[in-house]
A and B are shown apart, each in its own frame.
Chain A
Amino acid sequence: APCPQWPYCRKRCSYCNFNTYVVPAVDEAAVRSCLVREAQTLLRLSQVHSVSSVFFGGGTPSLASPGTVAAVLEAVAAAAHLPAGAEVTLEANPSSTSTSRLAGFRAAGVNRLSIGVQSLDDAELRMLGREHTAAEARKAVEAARGLFPGRTSIDLLFGLPGQSRDAWAQRLEAALGLCDDHISLYQLTLERGTALAAQVRGGALPEPSQDVLADMYHTARTVLAAASFRHYEVSNFARKGALSTHNLSYWRADQYIGVGPGAHGRFVPRGEGGRSREARVQILEPAAWMREVQSQGHGTRSRVVLSPLEQLEELLTLGLRTDEGVTHERWGHFSPQLSLQAVFGAPGEARALQQQGWLVLDSGGLRCTWAGLAVLDSLLPDLLWQLQRV
């Protein structure tokens, strides 16, 4: 599953600490040829035969032209099999999603859209440093639903400084009226080094209380469940089976290939005789990345072989975020010798957590209970500690 990154934005949002760049003019032809080249190189290196999904992330990939998206998809299809039903998602900002542009992306091969609505309140959007208004967001979602019916997702943030429980309930209500069959709800993380975090630390904006955040999350889960959404991952909800194939594969610890500046990947480089899964990061800075791609075919900055234990740790950390949890089958794929039952069924932390009602280990695998999912980060250290001792 390749994840091409478009690293540019028109403006940096106040809460974002991603590897993004705001530049006056992008040499799109050069970036395009490098994305194409790197995708080809890495796909060949991975020797992946069939690609089940492609995810254009960023940055703001909807700022790229449909031609660039098409070129990358062609390169993927040339290097590996890209089935007609493969999920091809593009992250889009309401400010760069006119109907004609969206039609262009659809023609280029995109079949799923993830729109960064973030909020449906103008004051909140300004605080977040977004370029669009609530009305523009609505328009963008409606346009997208017209072109990608059943395959349009929206992102919303909660826990904004100063946001009340009631305000959040209203946003949620409004979002439900607007959305298609997939919603991602993220609690705002005040990342170090962002403008918003500095304002909160400096006292210019209030820090949301832990209790309010917990209430907001609980409200969202309840309201969306009532609207027939399946809460299939910590922050993701879908109905009518509109789960994101791409992100699911990530939480199941499938292979994925990061393409573009600062992209991350996890795959086995079979093309050079590799047999172990590697964690890879591409060069962060776009110009340096391009130079490297042009001379080497790819701009990998670091590659680290993951030990079997590290692979299991990642599988556990990611898998438990989903409602299906870590299945026996996925576990067995990474640990053929030692079963899930053998590790976590024995007396120890996991069993205590089961007795306390946070976890379930049964024929389906190991997963969080409804209550456990909300406190997963308190469960993981215990589970990893138990795993390390095996």
Chain B
Amino acid sequence: MALAGRAALRWGPRLPSPSAAPLCRAAGLPAACERRYSSRGKEKLDMSTYPVESIRNFSIIAHVDHGKSTLADRLLEITGTISKTDRNKQVLDKLQVERERGITVKAQSASLFYNHEGINYLLNLIDTPGHVDFSYEVSRSLSACQGVILVVDANEGIQAQTVANFYLAFEAQLSIIPVINKIDLKNADPERVEKQIEKLFDIPTDECIRISAKQGTNVEKVLQKVIEKIPPPQCTPADPLKALVFDSTFDHYRGVVANIALFGGEIAKGHKIMSAHTKKRYEVNEVGILTPDEQPTHKLYAGQVGYLIAGMKEVAEAQIGDTLFLYKQPVEPLPGFKSAKPMVFAGMYPIDQTEYNNLKSALERLTLNDSSVTVHRDSSLALGAGWRLGFLGLLHMEVFNQRLEQEYNMSVILTAPTVPYKVVLSSAKLIKEYGKDQITIINPAQFPDKLSVSEYLEPTVLGTIVTPHEYIGKIITLCQDRRAVQKDMLYIDENRVMLKYLFPLNEIVLDFYDALKSLSSGYASFDYEDAGYQSADLIKMDILLNGNPVEELATVIHKDKAHAAGKLLCERLKETIPRQLFEIAIQAAIGKKIIARETLKAYRKNVVAKCYGGDITRRMKLLKRQAEGKRLMRKIGNVEVPRDAFIRILKREPDK
């Protein structure tokens, strides 16, 4: 598993291997070849034949599953970037988790070459992630673009993320090409979707292109629109070099590979450059374009998008949003963007402290490729030395954890996710200790007692929900149950409603999305954006097993919710913890006060009745699996708990 994962990380199982030469196109056209070989013995492309006027930089944005990756696959095929086979699925999604979950979590770029009316165009496609957790990556990718293709499913219509993505592009003043995808489906209703787009985004219905990315219908037309509607970048090679770093990855052989967009000048091997952010100097080793694999070129020119390798050892040196320039010709840095803001924090600990160093190096390597994860060292009495990690959202946390397992073969203890609370201190002693009167709490263990606090603050988000109208009642009830306040309600057509709610972030972090999906039979969609802090009546709740606190489950919670949440957690734990040889008291406590209790009785009989006649091979397998499972058990006092039990408990299933 682990090895396969590592391979998939680098190349993706369906990308051509060096022996699969037929996929490499003849010289003159960029080749989709493996990275390690692409820099050697290969004709370098001359990019000077693509002046600014013939360049278009664009992204595809869409709600998850509306066909973004499929459209990208078709565009790559039509332009000859990859050969046309029926195996091209999610070509740009290289990570194993992306393919398994059918989502994009990491932006990828590809340069496409396309002849339109006798002119050779260079079209740079910057693929974007398709989940709310990664909207930060979307806005980052958009900064390198002048336009977007907004893909909407002809059956599902506008969804919450469509709205969010549209506004990201709209606010960045990008040209928007609306595309209605999946018109081949039986229930497709492009007219209705066109009307929604008109109503919500003010785009005339006749500007929408109806396509089927799966079957290739009208995809050429999309490319033509890209050329006609999206302006070329406004810059010239005559200016001094000005390159925006909009993404970076880490290659174990060559160090940091920075994805750059040139807003002026040109760049080539041997140039001496400087980072506006770190002020460090580098010499360029290699530049090139992504097709989508790296294809070295002699130079990159203003308006072009590609990659750069310049001896940077850490991804932190290629800070996303940073500006690179020739160190003899300093320029005004481009307005960078805000660094990613973690919404969810969780403690991560090795199951066994002897694994600490291995986990440390795995974390270091993985965060090289995922700079939106923040890492702080942390330690706890119960769990030993570990880290507190910050993630963009719960999916991001799951994906990160899955990558740790798949690509680094690491199994870890993960504590209950918590959102960053703020606390206004009243205790002079604490103010002195922290050196300020307002602190951010990302670990429930550090939650200060009410006596030394004048106010607790919780983060909020503005959530957008799009749903068929028959589910409104249930959704409103759900939102109220989550302490949300309605801000807006709008019919986007006769059947669909868009709702806006101000949510406390901690009410949606774990399972709101699942609950929403479940009560709307999957039809409602959800997206959210940061909306600042609000005052809240917060307390810390502990969960005890036979009197011993379970550190993974300590949570900060709204006072009104503590009893119900404590009771529910205890009930869930009772169902999840396997019966043992002794009775287990499961309790929820606030301070010393027990607010809920369940009792898990001891096993009185646990022995298989018949153990002969049949084969015991199967039985031995089961026992051995249980024995090996002992290694992965977390011991709280005497109580053995399966390692994944806590996260399973926290992720409530709404139908239960």
Contacts and interface: CB of A to CB of B under 8 A. Distances in A.
Interface string B598-623: 00010111111111111111011001
Contacts of B84: none
B1 interface: no
Interface string A244-281: 00010011000000000000100000000000000101
Interface stretch (B239-247, B270-278, B625-633): B625-633
Given A384-B627, A385-B630, A264 B614 contact: yes
A279 B617 contact: yes
B629 A317 contact: no
B604 A186 contact: no
Contacts of A381: 623, 626-627, 629-630
B590 to A, nearest CB: 32
B139 interface: no
Given A187-B609, A381-B623, A384-B624, A374 B604 contact: yes
A378 B628 CA distance: 14
B611 A377 contact: no
A314 interface: yes
A235 B610 CA distance: 7
Nearest to A280: B615
Given A313-B623, A384-B623, A210 B610 contact: no
Contacts of B607: 234, 321, 373-377
A18 interface: yes
A171 B579 CA distance: 30
B620 A310 contact: yes
Contact of A385 (B579, B605, B611, B628): B628
Nearest to B623: A380
A356 interface: yes
Contact of A189 (B605, B610, B616, B626): B610
A186 B623 contact: no
B581 interface: yes
B388 to A, nearest CB: 31
B79 interface: no
A313 B626 CA distance: 13
B580 interface: yes
Nearest to A244: B612
A317 B623 contact: yes
Contacts of A314: 616, 620
How big is the B interface, by class? 20 to 34
Contacts of B581: 356, 358, 375, 378
Interface string A9-41: 000000000100000000000000000000000
Q: Could you tell me the dominant secondary structure of chain B's interface residues?
A: loop
B376 to A, nearest CB: 34
A213 interface: yes
B611 A318 contact: yes
A317 B620 contact: yes
Given A210-B604, A375-B605, A382 B612 contact: no
B603 to A, nearest CB: 5
A91 B617 CA distance: 23
A201 to B, nearest CB: 18
Contacts of A57: 613
Contact of A375 (B606, B611, B619): B606
A148 interface: no
A195 interface: no
Contacts of A211: 601, 604
A21 B606 CA distance: 31
Contacts of A310: 620
A189 B610 CA distance: 9
Contacts of B608: 189, 234, 377
Interface string B127-161: 00000000000000000000000000000000000
A304 B615 CA distance: 13
Interface string A316-335: 01100100000000000000
Contacts of B609: 186-189, 234-235
A98 interface: no
A6 interface: no
A237 interface: no
B603 A186 contact: no
Contact of A251 (B612, B620, B628): B612
B606 A374 contact: yes
A252 B200 CA distance: 77
Contacts of B614: 18, 264
Contacts of B631: 385
A377 B612 CA distance: 15
A235 B607 CA distance: 10
A121 B603 CA distance: 29
A376 B631 CA distance: 20
Interface in A335-390: 356, 358, 373-378, 380-382, 384-385, 388
A381 B626 CA distance: 6
Contacts of B629: 381
B630 A317 contact: no
A281 B617 CA distance: 10
A184 to B, nearest CB: 9
A317 B604 contact: no
B611 to A, nearest CB: 6
Given A18-B614, A210-B605, A378-B603, A385 B627 contact: yes
* A356, A373, A374, A380 interface centre (most CB from chain B within 10 Å): A380
Contacts of A374: 604-607
Contacts of B626: 380-381, 384
Contacts of B619: 317
* A250, A310, A313, A378 interface centre (most CB from chain B within 10 Å): A378
A235 B608 CA distance: 9
Contact of B606 (A18, A318, A376): A376
Interface in B423-445: none
B214 to A, nearest CB: 40
Given A375-B604, A378-B603, A317 B616 contact: yes
A229 interface: no
Contacts of A217: 605
Contacts of A384: 623-624, 626-627
Contacts of A210: 579, 604-605
B606 A321 contact: no
11 contacts: A189-B609, A210-B605, A213-B605, A214-B604, A217-B605, A318-B616, A376-B606, A377-B607, A378-B603, A384-B627, A388-B627
Given A356-B581, A374-B606, 9 more contacts: A187-B605, A188-B609, A210-B604, A313-B620, A317-B623, A377-B623, A378-B603, A382-B630, A388-B628
List of 4 A-B pairs having minimum Cβ-Cβ separation, nearest first: A214-B604, A384-B627, A381-B626, A214-B605
Interface of A: 3, 18, 57, 186-189, 210-211, 213-214, 217-218, 234-235, 247, 250-251, 264, 279, 281, 304, 310, 313-314, 317-318, 321, 356, 358, 373-378, 380-382, 384-385, 388
